[in-house]
Structure 1
Amino acid sequence: MISAESLALFVLACIALGATPGPNVALIVGTSLKHGRQAGILTAMGVNVGLIAQLALVAGGLAYVVEAFSRHFDLVRYAGAAYLVWLAVMQWRSAGKAVEAPAPSAHAAFGRGLAVAFANPKTLLFHAAFLPQFVTNTADPVPQIALLAAIFAVIALVGDMLWAVVADKARAALKGRFTLVADRVSAGILVGGAALLLAAGRR
């Protein structure tokens, strides 16, 4: 069994990671600022389904999948960065228009989150290195890694939902004549997410 001290340290580390903005958070915040809470939450759900899939691969010990992501590390993150830039351009072009661009459908918002989650191979590699550090039973690590992955997934989902809600509150505050500012800030955040992906190294 994992000790209470190790588990508490793991939870604190997960909270700290969830509070650190990255490409996933950039997409969630940018979407909420532009299209509101519902679109942001659906995007967060897509991000976290992708995260859960990655955690499942790590918990299942599928080393060959992690290795495949590692081999194509640059290609995957370049594609993800290009996608975020494309979204940013679309948001910038529609900024401040009298007729607001329609919010993405539920499937589209969810799909965006899922795509960006898988476009960051560093997340998968990080989990493959991070979770085993808290395992005490090295002879049969899978159950403990699965437990840690589940805890991480719950904390990440709650954190991403909070990012979506906070961004929606900011959007409400910037309504009216500040709509142009909100739209362009949203586009800028997405570009920032792309920059973070491009800056990501293997270590």
Structure 2
Amino acid sequence: MIDAAVLWTFVLACAAIVVVPGPTVTVIIANSLRSGSKAGFMNIAGTQFGLAIMIGVLAFGLQAVVSIRGEIFDYVKLFGAAYLIYLGIMMWRSNGALANPDEMRTKKRSMNGYFWQGFFVIWSNPKALFFFGAFIPQFIVVEGNASVQTIILGGIFMIIGAVGDGIYALAAGRTGSWLTQSNIRLIERISGTALIGAGIWLALTKRA
């Protein structure tokens, strides 16, 4: 099974990724500012549904890769470690700016509408599935069942993501005053540093 130290590294990396606003968080914040936290929570529910499908697809795909050619999986892991470092560098280079809700042209929707908006936003981002394909394999133990491990790790990511997104939705629904560029910039730097460190640690671990 998954080593405890590796699992905690995974949790830390998930938190670092989730806390930085991306396309889905931007939509959640925009809708929460305009229509209240409930709209943002429905976005989150749709996003979680989309993530569950992605993780299911990835789980069976990884199992096939491990079964057919184990050494290919090693290269996937090394590539993923490099990708974590790349994400960390990109976070450091970000300017901390959230999209302006007034420029997003979000409109009033039914609660079901917000749900499906969240679902389609996550699936319309091609980087999402690519990210999972590079991120989760870092923490898979080849000797174990890749599908089961992927589902477990994916579930942990979903929980952390739901909590992080929920905080944004709740805060934006009540007051968006704390969502300043300087605050987001600080979050990006802290998260970027954590991801770079995690990527380097994982790369060195794979070589050992």
**Structure 2: 5+ residue stretches without partners:** 65-98, 181-208
Residue aligning to 1:145: 150
Equivalent residues in 2 for 1:1-203 (5 A)? Answer: 1-61=1-61, 88=103, 90-91=105-106, 103-138=108-143, 140-170=145-175
Name segments (4+ residues, structure 1) moved above 2 Å. Answer: 87-91, 137-140
Give 2:3's aligned amino acid: S
Closer, same or farther in 2 for the Cα pair 1:12/1:61, shift >3 Å?
same
TM-score normalised by structure 1 residue count: 0.64
Distance 2:54 2:61 in 1: 11
Distance 1:89 1:26 in 2: 9
Q: Is the 8 A contact 2:63 2:147 kept in 1?
A: no
SS of 1:61 mapped into structure 2: helix
SS of 2:27 mapped into structure 1: helix
SS of 2:61 mapped into structure 1: coil
Distance 2:175 2:104 in 1: 21
Could you say what the CA RMSD is over the residues aligned between the two structures, in angstroms? 2.8
Provide, for residues 110-137 of structure 1, a one-character-per-residue CA deviation record: whole Å limited to 9, x for no partner: 1111110101011101101111110113
Give 2:142's aligned amino acid: N
Distance 1:89 1:152 in 2: 27
Provide, for residues 25-75 of structure 1, a one-character-per-residue CA deviation record: whole Å limited to 9, x for no partner: 0000000001101111111111121112111111121799xxxxxxxxxxx
Give 1:154's aligned amino acid: I
Distance 1:17 1:25 in 2: 11
Distance 2:2 2:13 in 1: 15
Distance 2:44 2:51 in 1: 10
TM-superposed CA distance for 1:140, in Å, is: 3.2
Give 1:12's aligned amino acid: L
Q: Is the 8 A contact 2:62 2:146 kept in 1?
A: no
TM-score normalised by structure 2 residue count: 0.62
Distance 2:112 2:126 in 1: 23
Q: What is the percent sequence identity of the aligned residues?
A: 35
Farther-moved stretch of structure 1 (49-58 vs 136-145)? 136-145
